[in-house]
């Protein structure tokens, strides 16, 4: 499943990059287009869709309790894998795109500012014939010092701090608890000594879905005011998210089934397919707010994506259910 999410993000990023070239998107919006074309709102959508399908009377996915348990596991794993991708690779792409505004502003300012009338070159001319004798001890110390400084700079860098956000840390901790048997037996099992901790976290987590729904509504409300998003760009993102990605998902999952990489459990196959048809992730808006650019454009893109997804996601869900059963 994490590999499938990575493939879907890679395909979406490639299609978004092609769209950027075709529509000649402004530099500061390139990251937004690639993000909206690749990252999906997997966790919240799957948490809503899968349990609802499992609780149906004539559900094609078997027993409702078993289906719900597997559905929650698939949704949680999808959310964790997507969060790691969004806050690492995608954040770097969007930050680089946003920095283009700063560079363009700096270039314009440097071109319009007056150059100094007198330039002193005395210091460089005085040191033309100065030669430093090599000192191996100092050179070794200098190299070690540079490596230490580079390591400390990396550890304290803002980019690394942004990768290890609370969502990413929670995903890593969740993987560790789920994989390491002693932790799982101490927290998750019904007879676990610290099961109360897991129950409390689960109770708080259940409030996350309606909270995120409110955030989605607030962002969509901003989109009603409109912004300077080209119609061609908006249509391109809608086509990528609602047509091209779902179709490519069928090809990827069918190829994986052909090579024996995917089991025969219909709910698992359905989840893999559904990951390609879900609208863009809300974390993109959080990143844009932190960067300070593209928020109005993102709200418009999200508004139309979720309006169209109300119909397209329903159709793709029905088609995927027919396909796997």
Write the pLDDT tens digit of every residue in 47-68.
888 888 888 878 888 888 888 8
Confidence of residue 122 (pLDDT cuts 50, 70, 90): very low
Confidence of residue 204 (pLDDT cuts 50, 70, 90): confident
Residue 118 has pLDDT above 60, yes or no: no
The residue among 177 and 217 whose pLDDT is bigger is: 177
Fold of 1-104+160-324: Na+/H+ antiporter like fold (1.20.1530)
Find the mean pLDDT for residues 116-120: 48
**Which residue do the tokens 């040191």 mark?**
127
Average pLDDT, the chain: 79
Find the mean pLDDT for residues 165-190: 79
Which tokens belong to 109? Answer: 């300012």
pLDDT at position 214: 76
CA 82 to chain centre: 5
The residue among 155 and 266 whose pLDDT is bigger is: 266
Question: Which residues on neighbouring strands pair with residue 280, listed in sequence order?
Answer: 40
Residue 129 has pLDDT above 90, yes or no: no
Integer angstrom CA distances of residue 36 from 97, 242, 249, 253: 14, 12, 17, 22
Q: What percent of the chain has pLDDT over 70?
A: 75
Write the pLDDT tens digit of every residue in 248-259.
999 999 999 999
Find the mean pLDDT for residues 89-111: 66
pLDDT at position 125: 45
Which tokens belong to 266? Answer: 């219909």
Q: Helix axis angle, 266-274 relative to 295-324, nearest 10°?
A: 150
The residue among 240 and 28 whose pLDDT is bigger is: 240
Find the mean pLDDT for residues 139-165: 59
Residue 124 has pLDDT above 60, yes or no: no
pLDDT at position 59: 82
Residue 170 has pLDDT above 60, yes or no: yes
Q: Where do the structural domains in the chain lie, given as residue ranges?
A: 1-104+160-324
Confidence of residue 159 (pLDDT cuts 50, 70, 90): low
Which tokens belong to 209? Answer: 């879905």
- Please, what sign has the CA dihedral across residues 288, 242, 275, 19? negative
Give the chain as a 3 state SS string. CHHHHHHHHHHHHHHHHHHHHHHCCCHHHHHHHHHHHHCECHHHHHHHHHHHHHCCCCCCCCCHHHHHHHHHHHHHHHHHHHHHHHHHHHHHHHHHHHHHHHHHHHHHHHHHCCCCCCCCCHHHHHCCCCCCCCCHHHHHHHHHHHHHHHHHHHHHCHHHHHHCCHHHHHHHHHHHHHHCHHHHHHHCCCCCCCHHHHHHHHHHHHCHHHHHHHHHHHHHHHHCCCCCCCHHHHHHHHHHHHHHHHHHHHHHHHHHHHCCCCCCCHHHHHHHHHCCCCCECCHHHHHHHHHCCCHHHHHHHHHHHHHHHHHHHHHHHHHHHHHHC
Confidence of residue 128 (pLDDT cuts 50, 70, 90): very low
Find the mean pLDDT for residues 11-15: 94
Measured CA to CA, the distance from residue 80 to residue 40 in angstroms comes to: 12
pLDDT at position 206: 76
Integer angstrom CA distances of residue 264 from 59, 163, 253, 269, 325: 17, 35, 12, 7, 10
Closest CA to 13 of 192, 198, 301, 237: 237
pLDDT at position 123: 45
Measured CA to CA, the distance from residue 171 to residue 82 in angstroms comes to: 10
Among the ranges given (13-27, 147-161, 173-187, 294-308), the one the predictor scored with the smallest mean pLDDT = 147-161
Is 183 within 8 Å of 198 (Cβ atoms)? no
Among the ranges given (73-77, 170-174, 192-196, 213-217), the one the predictor scored with the smallest mean pLDDT = 213-217
């Amino acid at each position: 499943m994490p590999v499938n999410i990575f493939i879907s993000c890679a395909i979406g990023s490639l299609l978004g990059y092609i769209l950027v070239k075709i529509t000649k998107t402004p530099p500061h919006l390139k990251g937004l287009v690639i993000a909206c074309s690749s990252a999906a709102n997997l966790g919240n959508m799957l948490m809503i869709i899968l349990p609802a399908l499992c609780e149906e009377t004539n559900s094609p996915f078997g027993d409702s309790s078993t289906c719900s348990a597997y559905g929650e596991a698939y949704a949680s794993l999808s959310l964790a894998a997507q969060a790691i991708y969004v806050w690492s690779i995608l954040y770097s792409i969007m930050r680089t795109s946003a920095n283009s505004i700063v560079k363009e502003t700096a270039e314009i300012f440097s071109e319009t500012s007056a150059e100094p009338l007198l330039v002193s070159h005395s210091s460089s001319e005085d040191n033309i014939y100065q030669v430093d004798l090599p000192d191996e001890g100092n050179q070794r110390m200098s190299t070690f010092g540079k490596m230490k400084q580079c390591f400390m700079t990396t550890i304290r860098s803002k980019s690394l701090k942004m990768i290890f956000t609370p969502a990413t840390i929670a995903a890593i901790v969740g993987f560790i608890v789920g994989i390491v048997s002693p932790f799982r037996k101490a927290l998750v099992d019904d007879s676990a000594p610290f099961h109360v901790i897991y129950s409390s976290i689960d109770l708080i987590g259940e409030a996350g879905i309606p909270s995120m729904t409110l955030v989605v509504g607030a962002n969509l409300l901003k989109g009603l005011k409109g912004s300077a998003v080209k119609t061609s760009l908006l249509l391109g993102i809608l086509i990528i998210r609602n047509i091209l990605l779902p179709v490519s998902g069928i090809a990827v999952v069918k190829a994986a089934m052909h090579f024996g990489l995917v089991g025969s459990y219909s709910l698992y196959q359905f989840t893999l397919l559904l990951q390609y048809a879900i609208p863009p992730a809300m974390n993109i808006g959080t990143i844009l707010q932190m960067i300070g650019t593209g928020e109005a454009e993102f709200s418009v893109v999200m508004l139309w994506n979720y309006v169209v997804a109300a119909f397209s996601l329903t159709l793709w869900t029905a088609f995927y259910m027919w396909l796997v059963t």
